[in-house]
Structure 1
Amino acid sequence: MNAPATAPAVTPAADEAPAGPRPYSQYVYAYPHKTAYRRLDPRPALRDLWAGEPKDALSLYLHIPFCEVRCGFCNLFTRIGAPEGLTGAYLDALDRQATAVREALGDEPVRFATAAFGGGTPTFLTAAELERLCDIAERRTGADLRAVPLSVEASPATATADRLAVLAERGATRLSLGVQSFVDSEARAAVRPQRRADVEAALGRIREARIPVLNIDLIYGIDGQTERTWRESLDAALAWHPEEIYLYPLYVRPLTGLGRLGADADAAWDRQRLALYRLGRDHLRERGYEQRSMRMFRRADAPATGDEDYACQTDGMIGLGCGARSYTRALHYSFDYAVDMREIRAIVDDWTTRPAEDFGYAEYGRAIDADEARRRHLLQSMLQADGMDRADYRARFGAGPEEHFPGELARFAARGWLDASAPAAGLLRLSEEGLAHSDALGPELFSPAVRAAMAAYDLK
């Protein structure tokens, strides 16, 4: 198989070539990235970390590190398959961790505003195991899954009727299905063995389960993909009237299946991905979808699923599971992290056998000082299509964003990445071209310390 960077199937005109930094540097879904975390010595007690933290609008995330296969582009913390008894032992450990974490939060009331099951593939678990997962979330942490938005990730092969029935009954409001491509040859090129007929059958089961929001993930930039086949995947997804569609550029990362083929990004692949992104963006907009970020498109008439009381920039997160991260105002923390399959297996096996007392401490993490807090807020606000409220930023941090980030914002403006009309509305907002270059803009806001820590990280 040719690596995706070697044979772009879309050749835009020369005047469409990317200007300035390359458009696909890094997908910024959390800041700081886990590769900037380091072992904490001594390990801080969770009770101390959470003392005095606001607990009235927390996010709850449960991580299931299992998949039936590993896609060629995937660098998630997940292992393939599970020996007999491992998923049960993992849930036993998750139960111990959830109990320890809830005790560490203290006696004061705790309210969860959102919940999510991610991975890996949470629906790798059987229907009975999913029931137990929901029980752990509710009985150990106190979360009411039927009263808050609950998002669950799934794959076509594991979106079975019995599993979906459990999730629907326990309050799932959003089901995200990783499809990536409806074209069988492209799925194979991405090292994602699946047949379109099986994907369509899974989508039918999801709609029959009546979970309010269906999200379909698609990827552009796959080897052999053309404008015609990209439209084919888009239209196949649209036929199911999903409430959300996410469009992801393909990345080739170290230690992944595609990464081991020696592929690397080049200018031609950058042009291909930008051309397909713009095609997909315009195609969805013309069919009634609103762009919420570079990746997220939401049907204009889709039901609301968010909690207006929760803000990902500032509110805390409780992560349960060996690959989950947790956020306090002063520290982001997790357990060990890896991409290599052997390393992941070792971490999962170790985590699954831990005694309850081990779960009362943070082991890996990164301190969040005032500068990092400002960067995180700016990143997670600016990368949304609505932009950032300037007055809210000033109230939180005592000055305007231009005073804290004059050089960065000046560069973004010079490149045409900022919406010049937004200040009149009290906003700092990306232009259409800025949104298209989110994966170049985001990393430019990383602090020098985080950059250095990420560069020094020993990949494993």
Structure 2
Amino acid sequence: MTTAPATTATTPSAAEAAGPYQHYVYAYPHKSAYRRLPERPTLTSLWAAEDKSALSLYLHIPFCEVRCGFCNLFTRIGAPEGLTGAYLDALERQAGAVREALGEGEDIRFATAAFGGGTPTFLTAPELERLCDIAESRMGARLDAIPLSVEASPATATADRLAVLADRGATRLSLGVQSFVEAEARAAVRPQRRADVEAALARIREARIPVLNIDLIYGIDGQTEETWLHSLDAALAWAPEELYLYPLYVRPLTGLDRHRAASGPARDPAWDAQRLRLYRAGRDHLLARGYTQQSMRMFRRADAPPQGADDYACQTDGMIGLGCGARSYTSALHYSFDYAVGMHAIRGIIDDYVATEDFTRAEVGHRMDADEARRRHLLQSLLQAEGLVESDYQARFGQAPAEDFGSALDVLADRGWLAAADGRLRLTPEGLAHSDAVGPLLFSPAVRAAMAAYERK
């Protein structure tokens, strides 16, 4: 593609040895690259010069009724009496501090919002009302006028909770199902009955939230192509506007990791091959049934209503995260609270968050220099099916992506994973299939070293 020099990236041989399933790059850099900020910058200073005309708002609820065996999200099982109320108290204090730090003016606007976790619908219906009030009254987000996505589980997608979300403007409800086959759900340490899943889906459709997303997982022990397509067809019976197809990972400190820690190599080529085979079968199944592919994981029904904000771009616009598992983005710093996967450490972080009175400073984060900003823009664009608009990159950074990442882009092109056409760089179908190897190829040496040095807890 080009012979121009590029910034340092993983060598082809190292990337190939690591296999197709390395990292799900939903954000760059990963929070395991964050570190304590000795200077503890004030939020006022961080946001003073930022464009605040199209922000994203994310509220994090770190509670679930159970923790699935594959889950490494920042969440705890259950909540002692009074903890959810105390958590919302802290969330409201944080919202007040953050909104004050953003300043006053007509240029402050939220273009999109999401409630994630954990499981936001772990909260009761009155608590969900309060969560919406925090977003609207404390932060100034107009939930009835912008896209609002909410995550839920079958057990917590109750009629009263869904009514609150529908009334307050939720435009998308994402339901974690993972498998419609009960034996596979048990193998993933996700105990659930199919009848309960179907009942939850019926309640969601009755609530008339415009976009239903169903999450499914492939690569579960005992899963075959036949059972995988069975789950897909069970999901398709509800005509979901979106489907996310996730490869199973066994990550450190998760339930499945504890079960498998004593056996097997870190990488299993046979399992890699199985996941790739199931991915391709699922992709082709959905494409043949009127869905379009948005990324490796995301498929959207061709006639589904638009869900994203027209004027928000994750590559360039800022994000406000509220809650102890949320992260915030400015152009110069990504920041959050401490990060953990193990239950004991998570509980300690939640307890510290609930006890916090002063939310005016950033405590943990990663500085974003010019090189990291380029990498993030490239990653966040390439991992979407629409790809990277080269003129947008050049307008922002002053030169073509090939001048910054020539050798890395050559590696992707040589593997048949990347193609250039019509002013865009796009992953090919095989490139999308290998997205979880494409992303790590573009990690900076500094981020790679920080992630490797992170002490898991």
The CA distance in 1 between the partners of 2:27 and 2:387, in whole Å, is 17
**Superimposed CA distance per residue, residues 366-419 of structure 1 (whole angstroms, 9 cap, x where no aligned partner):** 000000000000000000001110111100011111100011001001100012
The equivalent of 1:8 in structure 2 is none
| C-alpha deviation, 1:19, in angstroms | 6.8
The equivalent of 1:283 in structure 2 is 285
The equivalent of 2:443 in structure 1 is 446
Residue type at the aligned position of 1:226? T
**Superimposed CA distance per residue, residues 242-266 of structure 1 (whole angstroms, 9 cap, x where no aligned partner):** 0000000000000000011216430
The CA distance in 1 between the partners of 2:50 and 2:254, in whole Å, is 38
Residues 19-58 of structure 1 correspond to what in structure 2 (within 5 A)? Answer: 22-58=19-55
The equivalent of 1:240 in structure 2 is 238
Structure 2 residue corresponding to 1:184, chosen from 174, 182, 185? 182
SS in 2 for 1:360: coil
The CA distance in 1 between the partners of 2:310 and 2:132, in whole Å, is 23
The equivalent of 1:373 in structure 2 is 373
The CA distance in 2 between the partners of 1:171 and 1:95, in whole Å, is 20
| C-alpha deviation, 1:108, in angstroms | 2.2
SS in 1 for 2:418: coil
| C-alpha deviation, 1:20, in angstroms | 6.7
The equivalent of 2:431 in structure 1 is 434
**For structure 1, which runs of at least 5 residues remain unmatched after alignment?**
1-17
The CA distance in 1 between the partners of 2:273 and 2:426, in whole Å, is 24
2:158–2:203 Cα contact (<8 Å) kept:
yes
- The more displaced of 23-32 and 106-115 is 106-115
2:18–2:267 Cα contact (<8 Å) kept:
no
SS in 2 for 1:399: coil
The CA distance in 2 between the partners of 1:116 and 1:189, in whole Å, is 30
**Superimposed CA distance per residue, residues 14-46 of structure 1 (whole angstroms, 9 cap, x where no aligned partner):** xxxx97751101100000000000000120000
**Superimposed CA distance per residue, residues 255-287 of structure 1 (whole angstroms, 9 cap, x where no aligned partner):** 000011216430000000000000000000000
SS in 2 for 1:379: helix
The equivalent of 2:268 in structure 1 is 266
Structure 2 residue corresponding to 1:209, chosen from 207, 210, 221? 207
The equivalent of 1:102 in structure 2 is 99
Total equivalences in the alignment: 438
Structure 2 residue corresponding to 1:161, chosen from 156, 159, 165? 159
Matched, 1:405 2:393: no
The CA distance in 2 between the partners of 1:20 and 1:308, in whole Å, is 40
- The more displaced of 400-409 and 117-126 is 400-409
| C-alpha deviation, 1:204, in angstroms | 0.2
With over 3 angstroms needed to count, the CA separation of the structure-2 counterparts of 1:434 and 1:21, relative to structure 1, is: farther
The CA distance in 2 between the partners of 1:156 and 1:268, in whole Å, is 32
Matched, 1:83 2:85: no
SS in 1 for 2:133: helix
The CA distance in 2 between the partners of 1:281 and 1:71, in whole Å, is 24
After TM superposition, the score normalised by the length of structure 2 is: 0.95
The CA distance in 2 between the partners of 1:100 and 1:441, in whole Å, is 38
| C-alpha deviation, 1:307, in angstroms | 1.2
SS in 1 for 2:359: helix
The CA distance in 2 between the partners of 1:44 and 1:219, in whole Å, is 40
The equivalent of 2:70 in structure 1 is 73
The CA distance in 2 between the partners of 1:47 and 1:430, in whole Å, is 39
Residue type at the aligned position of 2:280? R
**For structure 2, which runs of at least 5 residues remain unmatched after alignment?**
1-14
The CA distance in 1 between the partners of 2:28 and 2:435, in whole Å, is 14
After TM superposition, the score normalised by the length of structure 1 is: 0.94
The CA distance in 1 between the partners of 2:423 and 2:406, in whole Å, is 18
SS in 2 for 1:338: coil
The CA distance in 2 between the partners of 1:451 and 1:343, in whole Å, is 23
Residues 94-173 of structure 1 correspond to what in structure 2 (within 5 A)? Answer: 94-109=91-106, 110-173=108-171
**Superimposed CA distance per residue, residues 330-365 of structure 1 (whole angstroms, 9 cap, x where no aligned partner):** 00000011000000001101100111xx20000000
1:127–1:166 Cα contact (<8 Å) kept:
yes
Residue type at the aligned position of 1:180? Q
SS in 2 for 1:416: coil
**Superimposed CA distance per residue, residues 19-76 of structure 1 (whole angstroms, 9 cap, x where no aligned partner):** 7751101100000000000000120000000001000000000000000000000000
The equivalent of 1:395 in structure 2 is 395
Residue type at the aligned position of 1:404? D
Residue type at the aligned position of 2:354? T
The CA distance in 2 between the partners of 1:265 and 1:149, in whole Å, is 39
SS in 2 for 1:405: helix
The CA distance in 1 between the partners of 2:224 and 2:322, in whole Å, is 40
1:252–1:265 Cα contact (<8 Å) kept:
no
1:44–1:362 Cα contact (<8 Å) kept:
yes
SS in 1 for 2:32: helix
SS in 2 for 1:254: coil
The equivalent of 1:306 in structure 2 is 308
Matched, 1:250 2:248: yes
The equivalent of 1:315 in structure 2 is 317
**Superimposed CA distance per residue, residues 274-315 of structure 1 (whole angstroms, 9 cap, x where no aligned partner):** 000000000000000000000000000000111110000110
Residue type at the aligned position of 1:430? L
Residue type at the aligned position of 1:150? L
Aligned Cα root-mean-square deviation (Å): 1.0
The CA distance in 2 between the partners of 1:208 and 1:322, in whole Å, is 33
The equivalent of 1:200 in structure 2 is 198
- The more displaced of 54-63 and 108-117 is 108-117
Runs of 4+ aligned structure 1 residues displaced above 2 Å come to 18-21
The CA distance in 1 between the partners of 2:59 and 2:322, in whole Å, is 5
